[in-house]
């Protein structure tokens, strides 16, 4: 993984990431009382800005923490951060915690002053060889909490699942609950069967993926789309499996638990969709990230 870019934003100031400091009494540190967003930047422009900041607003509302900024203010903060880090292609990470009080109490502090942090990092690189061969995944049983629709930084279960995948020499862990496929440890999931694109429905058990929604929009009208439960057996028998995430677009999974998916190579539906994704990126390049109503 490449190092983050040098400048970050912390509580109203731009500072060197290496010098940024928060209190050990911050509730993000003590309780994971905190939510976040990750969004890609192409040519200096944030991609799917409104979708990400609508989701951040929802995450904050669900944890009963007031959004510290309007969409327009968030845009301004992040555009400055991107410019201070030289623009171009990168991704931006934003985190809002319920701040700190002098003590450790589960209940909310009487006065909440959120901690607002943002940093930028280079986008992960997927080599041509990886795109050509596809990635691999293992399946794991779900042992996360019951509100996976909130993008909280309390990610220990996802961390352990991802490490299990790494230990097995795989790229992603696909999460299964009661025999149904939910999502990856840090990705949404799709299968293709007999030309139909299928993805599990949003619920409290999965994060509503921004890239998932963009993928569904691109696929609609090009191929039949079904949003429904996906049993594990159907994942194993799929012609194609894809994962999606903001920093990775859509990527093909060609091997699950050591067995090939379909032909064992990225399939024709994936190749078509990834071309549409690239076209979408180019269409959005140069348009404003957000226009206040
Ligand atoms: C658990 C989980 N599901 C799905 C996603 C994909 O969401 P998005 O496409 O908005 O990045 C992520 C991304 O971090 C994730 O952590």
Q: Same structural domain for residues 253 and 146?
A: yes
Per the listing, tokens 């599990």 go with 200
Of 66, 94, 121, the residue that ends a domain is 121
Protein residue closest via CA to atom 4 of ligand 1: 187
Domain extent for 47: 7-121
For ligand 1, whether the C-beta of 40 sits within 6 Å is no
Residues 156 and 70 occupy one common structural domain = no
DSSP state of 26: B
| Helices 268-284, 210-219: inter-axial angle, 10-degree rounding | 110
Q: Answer yes or no: is the C-beta of 152 below 6 A from any ligand 1 atom.
A: no
Position 286 in a domain: no
Last residue of a domain, one of 102, 121, 140: 121
Buried-state track 34-50, b at ≥16 Cβ within 10 A, e below 16: bbbbbbbbbebbbbbbe
- Tally the domains of the chain: 2
Whether the model clears a pTM of 0.85, i.e. scores above it, the answer is yes
> Which DSSP letter does residue 198 get?
E
What residues are labeled active site?
A: 36, 151, 183, 207
Would 90 be classed as within a structural domain?
yes
121, 156, 184 — which closes off a domain? 121
Q: What is the CATH number of the domain that holds 217?
A: 3.20.10.10
User: pLDDT (tens digit, 0 to 9) for every residue of the chain, 293 residues total?
Assistant: 789 999 999 999 999 999 999 999 999 999 999 999 999 999 899 999 999 999 999 999 999 999 999 999 999 999 999 999 999 999 999 999 999 999 999 999 999 999 999 999 999 988 889 889 999 999 999 999 999 999 999 999 999 999 999 999 999 999 999 999 999 999 999 999 999 999 999 999 999 999 999 999 999 989 999 999 999 999 999 999 999 999 989 999 999 999 999 999 999 999 999 999 988 888 877 676 667 66
Do 20 and 93 reside in the same domain of the chain? yes
* Ligand 1 centroid to residue 79 C-alpha, Å: 22
State whether 114 and 145 are in the same domain.
Answer: no
Residue 78, SS3 per DSSP: helix
Q: Is the CB of 209 under 6 A from ligand 1?
A: yes
């Amino acid at each position: 993984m490449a190092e983050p870019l040098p400048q970050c934003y912390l509580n109203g100031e731009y500072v060197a990431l290496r010098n940024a400091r928060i209190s050990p009494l911050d509730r993000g540190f003590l309780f994971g009382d905190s939510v976040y967003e990750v969004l890609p930047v192409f040519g200096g422009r944030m991609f799917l800005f409104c979708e990400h900041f609508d989701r951040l607003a929802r995450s904050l509302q669900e944890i009963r923490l007031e959004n510290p900024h309007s969409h327009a203010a968030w845009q301004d903060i992040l555009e400055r951060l991107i410019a201070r880090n030289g623009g171009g292609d990168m991704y931006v990470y934003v985190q809002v915690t319920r701040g700190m009080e002098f003590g450790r109490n589960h209940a909310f502090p009487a006065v909440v002053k959120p901690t607002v942090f943002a940093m930028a990092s280079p986008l992960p690189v997927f080599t041509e060889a990886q795109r050509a061969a596809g990635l691999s995944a293992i399946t794991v049983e779900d042992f996360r909490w019951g509100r996976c629709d909130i993008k909280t930084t309390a990610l220990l279960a996802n961390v352990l699942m991802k490490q299990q995948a790494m230990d097995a020499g795989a790229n992603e862990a696909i999460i299964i609950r009661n025999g149904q496929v939910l999502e990856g440890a840090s990705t949404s999931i799709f299968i293709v069967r007999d030309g139909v694109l299928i993805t599990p429905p949003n619920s409290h058990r999965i994060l509503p993926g921004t890239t998932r929604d963009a993928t569904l929009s691109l696929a609609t009208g090009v191929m039949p789309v079904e949003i429904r439960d996906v049993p594990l057996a159907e994942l194993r028998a799929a012609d194609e499996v894809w994962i999606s995430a903001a920093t990775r677009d859509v990527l093909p999974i060609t091997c699950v638990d050591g067995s090939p998916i379909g032909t064992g190579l990225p399939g024709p539906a994936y190749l078509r969709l990834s071309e549409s994704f690239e076209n979408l990126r180019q269409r959005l390049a140069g348009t404003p990230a957000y226009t206040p109503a």
